[in-house]
Amino acid sequence: MTDVAIRVENISKQYRIGLAQSRPDTLRDLLVSGIQRIRDVVRRKGDGRYDSPSHIWALKDVSFEVKQGQVLGIVGRNGAGKSTLLKILSRVTHPTKGYGEIHGRVGSLLEVGTGFHPELSGRENIFLNGAILGMRREEINRKFDEIVAFSEVGKFIDTPVKRYSSGMYLRLAFAVAAHLEPEILVVDEVLAVGDAEFQRKCLGKMNDVAQEGRTVLFVSHNMSAILRLTQETIVLDAGQIVMRGPTPEAVDHYLNMGLTKQGERNWTPEELSGTIGSFQPIALRVLNTQGRVVDTVTAAEGFTIEFKYNLSEPISGLRVGLYMMTTRGEYIFTTFDTDDPAVFESLTVRAAGRYVSRCSIPPNLMNEGRFILGVNASVYRIKRYFQDDKALTFTVDATGAPGMHWPEKRLGSVRPKLDWKIEVVNNNDE
């Protein structure tokens, strides 16, 4: 079979838990672990490297094949192993076990703007970033005008990028990456940043790439992007492939995975091992008007969504937000706890400690049905501390909602109670 672009067999990757949390290793740790190792040997524990409780498998026995020219989506929740898989495929890290082969030049886009230096001008960064991504200078020269045109930074091309707006910065970074021409492109969540216009443009470019017959592996939390760009998708969970199938089916499977949670989602430290930072989510809960944690709320009464989290160090400009989504992954609304400018101004820095951000959903807003709640903690344009696009699902019951005297299913995700006036208009008055 010569038309295989990627084949991996039983790829596994093991990480030490807590590696990201603890301070970088020091010589003291080395001494301590050295003593432990000697003790282990003395007690004939043998090689405790595999399956010891202090190690986790980020990927376990993952096997799949991608044909030349195929566009394959990869979905899975945080910590499912998506990024680890892409890192292995782009050779950033080595698998602990398993075997894989890749036929062709791989361009990986695990992040836009890798290696961008704020002090350098846009022009200089194009060359630097291009070289880092594996382009030849002659190739960059050839595509330079095209890149500048795509990025729309125009006359600012000789300005240091630290003076760019975040939109310009992202556009330039993506423009360089988009002009890579590898046979195989590996893309991780690059569309998760930037404004709607930028995302639209990126999606368009990704679509072009897919049309050109290149092999693309595409990871995203954005289900509509996955649906639009890919025909086939792999669903990863806990480091294993739980499903591979046509994209609509796979997305459906993914979104309905683990929907048994009862109105509450708690994060365990193990789950967060890959993403830990100064923000640690603790729990997300849906509460009814009596303050009880419930899986089903009544639309007519309104309800409260409560997000509990811990900050291990002060964060300035933090915003903690919720996404409300349908089970098909369409966004209904996004809201942040510092949406009110007055609140945002007064809460410039959140000190370390435990917090609860509560959001009241007014009565008569949601339509009946099953909904997905996502959470996000970020500092606008600076950093995303945490994101889980499907942290929790819950059901809205329509009892008492407007128009319930007609027992039909209403279209749409919201069912607001709106003001209607009915007037009689006499023909004579006209």
393 contacts 371 by C-beta, under 8 angstroms: yes
Q: Of 92 and 149, which CB lies nearer to other proteins in the complex structure?
A: 92
Strands (E), 329-417: 331-336, 349-350, 353-361, 369-379, 383-397
Least gap, CB of 218 to other proteins (angstroms): 17
Burial-class residue 183 by CB neighbours within 10 Å (0-12, 13-18, 19+).
middle
Q: Of 95 and 263, which CB lies nearer to other proteins in the complex structure?
A: 95
- Quickly list DSSP for 278-341: SEEEEEEEEE-TTS-B-SEEETTT-EEEEEEEEESS-EETEEEEEEEEETT--EEEEEETT-SH
Q: Of 118 and 258, which CB lies nearer to other proteins in the complex structure?
A: 118
Least gap, CB of 48 to other proteins (angstroms): 18
Q: Of 120 and 257, which CB lies nearer to other proteins in the complex structure?
A: 120
Whole-angstrom distance, CA of residue 374 vs CA of residue 191: 17
List of residues contacting other proteins (CB under 8 A): 2, 8, 11, 15, 19, 24-27, 30, 68, 87-106, 108, 110-111, 114-115, 117, 119-120, 124, 127-128, 131-134, 136-137, 160, 183
Q: Of 6 and 251, which CB lies nearer to other proteins in the complex structure?
A: 6
- DSSP state at residue 185: E
Q: Count the neighbouring beta carbons within 10 Å of the beta carbon of residue 233.
A: 26
Least gap, CB of 164 to other proteins (angstroms): 16
Whole-angstrom distance, CA of residue 126 vs CA of residue 116: 8
Q: Of 166 and 296, which CB lies nearer to other proteins in the complex structure?
A: 166
SS3 150: helix
Q: Which of 372, 387, 268 is nearest to 321 (CA)?
A: 387
Least gap, CB of 319 to other proteins (angstroms): 24
Least gap, CB of 258 to other proteins (angstroms): 28
Q: What is the CA radius of gyration of the chain?
A: 25
Beta bridge partners, 320, equal: 377
22 contacts 97 by C-beta, under 8 angstroms: no
Least gap, CB of 194 to other proteins (angstroms): 18
Least gap, CB of 176 to other proteins (angstroms): 12
Q: Of 29 and 330, which CB lies nearer to other proteins in the complex structure?
A: 29
